[in-house]
Amino acid sequence: MLNSTLSMDEIMIFLCGVYCIGFAIFHTQFWRIFNWKTDLNNLQPANKAIMQIANVRLIYFFVFAAAICFIFPKELLNTRLGNFFLAGMSLFWLGRTIEQFVFLKIDHPMVHLLTYVFIIGALLFAIPILI
């Protein structure tokens, strides 16, 4: 019989996976949210393609990272490679937080909300390796 009791650390890893799935879904909506069908036409063809390709790769990355969290929670918690992955993901979200201030100098509530959401991501991935 499988042990269905999850440790607090395993729950945190599960939440990391859910967080990544949320961002994958969010990125699938960029074409609609940011009116890319029209707005990207203002870019050079290469830049238009790069924007869309980078976004599709991010969607893949977030789904892949979520799968790692869902399939390998014990390995993430108990191996150097797993801890390295968690630290790298935490730094990914910390870097994304910093980039808010570097590239998005817009005083808009959604920008501020996303800043907090990125900080949450950095903490979510850091907590299992810090506790």
pLDDT in tens, 84-124: 999 999 999 999 999 999 999 889 999 999 999 999 999 99
**What is the token pair recorded at 40?**
């990207």
Q: Residue 2 domain-assigned? A: no
Q: Computed from CA positions of residues 87, 69, 125, 56, in that sequence, does the dihedral angle turn out positive or negative?
A: positive
Q: Residue 1 domain-assigned? A: no
The 3-state secondary structure of the chain, one letter per residue:
CCCCCCCHHHHHHHHHHHHHHHHHHHHHCHHHHCCHHHHHHHCCHHHHHHHHHHHHHHHHHHHHHHHHHHHCHHHHHHCHHHHHHHHHHHHHHHHHHHHHHHHCCCCCHHHHHHHHHHHHHHHHHHHHHHC
pLDDT (tens digit per residue) in 35-65: 999 999 999 999 999 999 999 999 999 999 9
Total count of domains within the chain: 1
Give the domain range for residue 30.
8-130
Q: Residue 3 domain-assigned? A: no
Q: Residue 89 domain-assigned? A: yes
Q: Residue 34 domain-assigned? A: yes
Give the predicted TM-score (pTM) of the model: 0.92
